[in-house]
Structure 1
Amino acid sequence: MHLLEDSWIPARRRNGRRDWIAPTQLSDPGIVAFDADRADFNGALMQFAIGLLQTTAPIESRTDWKRFLTAPPDTQTLRDWFAPVAEAFELDGDGPRFMQDATLASEASAINPVSALLIESPGENALRNNSDHFVKRGRLDGICPGCAATALFTLQTNAPAGGVGYRTGLRGGGPLTTLLLHQSPASLWQDVWLNVTERPQHLERCGDANRNGVQFRFPWLTDVASLQPGGELAPAQVHPDHIFWATPRRIRLDFDNVAHGACDLCGSESDRLIRQFTAKNYGLNYKGAWDHPLSPYYEVKGEWLPLHPQPGGMGYRHWLAWVLGQADAKSKQRPARIVTHALEWRRRQLGGALRLWAFGYDMDNMKARCWYESSLPLYGLGECAGKEALKSVSATVETWLAGAQQAVFYLRSAVKAAWFGGDARGDFSAIDAEFWQRTETAFYTQLRQCIETVRQNESADPDMLESRQAWHHALRSAALDLFDTTFVGAGPIERQKPRRVAEAHRQLVNSLNGKKMREVLRLPAADKPAASRGKPATADV
């Protein structure tokens, strides 16, 4: 099976029908999205397509890039682009195999069931200890070559820790990926192409462009030892293309012991169902300043590290850091390089309103706790005139998020006080999650207005007092309503302590209207109640 010539990629056509396509059909205007049966497969296929085009497309300028966005290349053009790298995309056969270690054919290595290619599958310890309670063993017996190729790429791209010598990917285990998509995509091609950079920018970013040998781009075309003679692999030792084709795991699919039947993942009939693979530890050991263009990074002691999904999911609280970057007292984060490049250099070339697709595994070492994905709208941010406009939006949103962080802290503290009357320990993440969800609509409503203001007039100041006051009202209303109707007021009355609840509620009201909250949102001080003078007036009887 050849991954550049055969039809193995599940895709959804405009009429809703699923089809299997070859990479040379990526520019078909009738295809709108990848359509795998697993969410992580769709994310991996998107990265496969981006990496393939970034590796082969001869785009030297923004003019070239814009031309192919509006007039996609035909099938023959794509075939010509892919031809020079064809040897790296054979999935089976006696020669080099896609993302597989050729030396395992002759070395003694462990035999694994094909289900072990899936990141959430229970490991050896879980099976030995009979602790596979939620993700059971034996779910898969055989998968078709297409699903095997996708599973292999997914594992190599997201590779979590897997025991002694079983390496993580160059972004660590379970990295966060953020991609640009059109808000209303015309085709899959347009979404993929948004995330491809002009060749000169790609080559100067991470790696040594003078290392043109195919083994420096596609590491499975040579053996591990020759590529990292010192036991570690740094960016300067390989070509920049390598960043899309990292292979930290030594794996070889078994095409000798196949079966006939329906694929346990996609349901397709195949006479070559793959049932097992061999694996060995001590694959490529990625060290150094790797800078993947599809991931946001955070700074620790002067070193930039890739972000990973965390418990609590994804939402508007991540919007600023993942779109424009954020630097505060606690952390400094920057967006994925492709996001920054698109917003700062392509601007009005992007072709309409955008959104950010964020996804990845929340990993606890070798355990997959959850798969997260979310779409964060960017509205017309890509059409803003320049960097100053982006700075205006960034400063405005930073104030809003600081206010939201303050409000959710007050709410959490008040709920804990009402429940326990003091400093209680435990997992109170449900309070935060409800607050962020409750205020999401208000945030995006104001964000859209903010971006529209700047898009129409770059010199306009979107950080108006009225918008900060409206946001303060939304935060205050959400916090009080959640306290009254969801967390405290909804509890059984016989289990409540009215005095404690009343004191917690009063403190919440005072905090939400207090000096600290107004300083964070840069609001004027609250009016003090007028002091009463003389005797109170008596009512008419």
Structure 2
Amino acid sequence: MNLLDENWLPVRMHDGSQHWISPDRLSDPGIAAFDACRADFNGALAQFAIGLLQTCTLAASDSEWRALLKAPPDAATLAQWFAPHRAAFEFDGDGARFMQDFELRASDAEPNGIAALLIETPGENTIKNNGDHFVKRGQVRGLCPHCASLALFTLQSNAPAGGVGYRTGLRGGGPLTTLLIATGTPAAPAPLWQTLWLNVRAQGAFLADGVEPGMEAPYHTFPWLAAQSAIQKEQGDTTPLQVHPAHMFWAMPRRIRLDFDAVNAGACDLCHRPSERLIRQYVTRNYGFNYKGAWLHPLSPYYAGKDGLLPLHPQPDGLGYRHWLAWVLGMDNDKRKVQAASVVSHFLLQPRVEQKTGIALRLWAFGYDMDNAKARCWYDATVPLYGLGDCGPPEQKALREEVGAWLRGAELVASYLRAAVKDAWFSSDARGDFGFIDAAFWSRTEPNFYGLLRARIQDLREGSAGDPLAAAESWRRQLRAAALRLFDAELVGSSPISRQNPARIAAAHKQLSHSLDGPKLRQALGLPQSTKATAPTA
């Protein structure tokens, strides 16, 4: 089975029907989106398709790239692009297999149940302690080859810590991925091709730093085409200088080999389609590729850490508007420096890009929140850009500074509210997880943030500076009103009177109001300090 020929990619058409296609049909204008049976598979499918196109495209210049955005290549052209790499996409057989260790064989180790390919599957210790309360054991016993290939790619892309020598992915365990997505209208829906191609760069730009001598061999891109020792020495590392730049899309931290001998017919436990070859087990060994060094994956944002740039990962507080700036324009302040994914920054820096392409954009962010080997949550969100691509670099810089101030103010107000609720409910030394207070605050203020953001981007697109101070003052009032409403009506004020401490509540409310009207919030928002006491506002 070769994945370039097989109809294994689940997609949803614009008419709502579901089909399975081969990769050479990705440019079909009738395809709306990927439509796998799991959300993490949809994220993996997008990265697979983008990686395949980026690796194989013959578009060398930006002008060729733009031409293909407007007039996509047909299936025959895509098949021609992919043909030189056919050997890398064989999924079974005795030789090299897609995303599977070149040397490992089914008889080399004790088999694992196929469910262990899924990141959320409970591990041995969890099962031993009878701790699989939410994700139960025994739910997945057999996978069709299509779902098995998706599970394998998903694991290799997101690989969490898995014990001694079981490596994390090139971007660590459970990285955050951010992609540009094309939006359309009910009358003219955007095809999947536009979303995929927006995240691919012309080869001249993608390979701008060149390819290290000797890295043109296929196994430097697709590491399963040769023994691991061809790239990485025993107990060694793999750095960007040891491989082709496109290797980033095909990183293989785990040594895995699917067992195609122990198969039988039946229905797949994920997609529920019948298959003549349900895969039930695989073998694995530790000490796969150990990715170290200055890797900068084009689909992920990075932050400045002590050891250089590190990939962002979803956290337990979820995905929301407080991340908008870091994902879209990056951040650079005293507390944190974040670099947006290179596909995002590269596209947005092109002059009047949305106007020229006629494509409206949003940003899609997704990834696992991992606690070492434990998957706590899968996060998936899209955020608006409001035509930001039609703003030039000076306007984007001004917006970065403004939105940075708005977010600093929001973080400050969230801390004020959290402290006030805690003081109203408990003594000052109370301990516990108060994250639900922050979650309520960020959720409540999200519509106001996006309303203000849309207006500011509209001003900048039209060449009007607008009034940044008026926008900041409006935001201050909205933050203040939201914090007081949450305190009065939904958090403290909603509890039974018999269980309240009026004196403590009054003191906490007074302190909250004082902080919300104080100089520290105005400073965070870049507002001038008031020359007289600020009257309380509703």
Equivalent residue number for residue 392 of structure 1: 398
3-state DSSP of counterpart to 1:168 = coil
Asked if structure 1 preserves the Cα contact closer than 8 Å seen for 2:367 and 2:380, the reply is yes
1:392, 1:461 within 8 Å by CA — same for their partners in 2?
no
Residue from 235, 238, 241 that aligns with 2:240: 235
Question: Hey, what's the Cα distance between the residues in 2 that align with 1:350 and 1:430?
Answer: 42
Aligned to 1:376: 383
Q: 1:462 to 1:304 in 2, by over 3 A?
A: farther
Separation in 2 of the partners of 1:68 and 1:110? Answer: 48
Amino acid at match of 2:164: V
Letter in 2 for 1:182: A
C-alpha separation between the residues in 2 aligned to 1:293 and 1:87?
25
Stretch deviating more after TM superposition (401-410 or 19-28)? 401-410
Give how far 1:507 is off: 1.0
Q: Distance in 1 between matches of 2:454 and 2:99?
A: 43
Work out whether 1:131 is the aligned partner of 2:131. Answer: yes
* Structure 1 residues 346 and 44: alpha-carbon distance in aligned structure 2, compared to 1, 3 A threshold: farther
Give the aligned partner of residue 178 of structure 2: 178
Q: Check if 1:439 corresponds to 2:442.
A: no
Equivalent residue letter for 2:25: Q
- Provide TM-score, normalisation by structure 1: 0.95
Report whether the alignment pairs 1:290 with 2:295.
yes
- Kept in 1: contact 2:106–2:257 (CA 8 A): no
Structure 1 residue aligned with 2:14: 14
Q: Deviations over 1:40-91 (max 9, x none)?
A: 0000000000000000001111111111111000000000000000100011
Residue type of the partner of 1:105? Answer: R
Counterpart in 1 of 2:222?
218
Task: Note the 1:31-430 alignment, pairs <5 A.
Answer: 31-105=31-105, 108-184=108-184, 186-204=190-208, 208=212, 210-229=214-233, 231-301=236-306, 303-345=308-350, 347-348=352-353, 349-384=356-391, 386-430=392-436
Partners in 2 of 1:326 and 1:248 — Cα distance? 30
Task: Answer whether contact 1:209 1:240 (CA < 8 A) is retained.
Answer: no
Shift, 1:524, TM fit: 3.7
Q: Check conservation: 1:393, 1:462, Cα contact below 8 A.
A: no
Distance in 2 between the 1:196 and 1:49 partners? Answer: 10
Shift of 1:404: 0.6
CA gap of 1:175–1:15, structure 2 versus 1, over 3 A, is: same
Q: Mark the structure with the bigger radius of gyration.
A: 1
Match of 2:486 among 473, 482, 489: 482
Q: Distance in 2 between matches of 1:207 and 1:502?
A: 66
Structure 1 moving runs of 4+ over 3 Å: 204-207, 524-530
How much has 1:204 moved relative to structure 2? 3.2
Q: Distance in 2 between matches of 1:377 and 1:502?
A: 40
> CA-to-partner distance for each residue in 1:103-158, whole Å, 9 max, x for gaps?
11276223111100000001122122222221111001111111000000000000
| Counterpart-to-counterpart distance in 2, 1:209 and 1:77 | 29
One-letter amino acid matched to 2:72: P
Bigger mean CA offset, 192-201 vs 44-53: 192-201
1:492 aligned onto 2:496 = yes
Tell me the SS of whatever aligns to 1:104: coil
In the alignment, residue 440 of structure 1 is paired with which amino acid? E
CA distance in 2, matches of 1:136, 1:350: 47
Deviates more, 1:126-135 or 1:507-516: 126-135
Match for 1:265: what amino acid? L
> 2:54 and 2:46 mapped to 1: Cα distance?
12
Letter in 2 for 1:353: A
Alpha carbon RMSD of aligned pairs, Å? 1.7
Residue 471 of structure 2 is matched in structure 1 by 467
Which one of the candidate residues 439, 456, 460 is aligned to 1:454? 460
Partner Cα distance (2:113, 2:228) in 1? 24
* 1:292-347 Cα deviation digits (max 9, x unpaired): 00000011126000111101100000011111111222221110111110111364
Number of aligned residue pairs: give it: 528
1:27 alignment partner in structure 2: 27
Name the amino acid aligned to 1:313.
G
Residue number in structure 2 paired with 1:539: none
Which position in structure 2 is the counterpart of 1:517? 521
Once the 2 structures are TM-superposed, how far is the Cα of residue 463 of structure 1 from its aligned partner? 5.0
CA distance in 2, matches of 1:44, 1:102: 22
| Maintained 8 Å contact 1:316/1:443 | yes
Moved more, 515-524 or 41-50: 515-524
Question: What amino acid sits opposite 1:58 in the alignment?
Answer: L
SS state at 2:348 partner: helix
How far apart, in 2, do the equivalents of 1:26 and 1:463 lie?
45
Q: What is the rounded CA distance, in whole Å, between the counterparts of 1:359 and 1:209 in structure 2?
A: 35
- For 1:454 and 1:9, the matched residues in 2 are separated by 41
- The Cα of 1:423 is off from its aligned counterpart by 3.9
| Equivalent pair of 2:106/2:259 in contact (CA under 8 Å) | no
CA contact (8 A) 1:110 1:280 kept: no
Paired amino acid for 2:482: A
Aligned mates of 1:248, 1:153 — CA distance in 2:
11
Preserved contact between residue 102 and residue 228 of structure 2 (Cα < 8 Å): no
Gaps of 5+ in 2: none
CA distance in 1, matches of 2:245, 2:473: 48
Q: Secondary structure at the match of 1:372?
A: strand
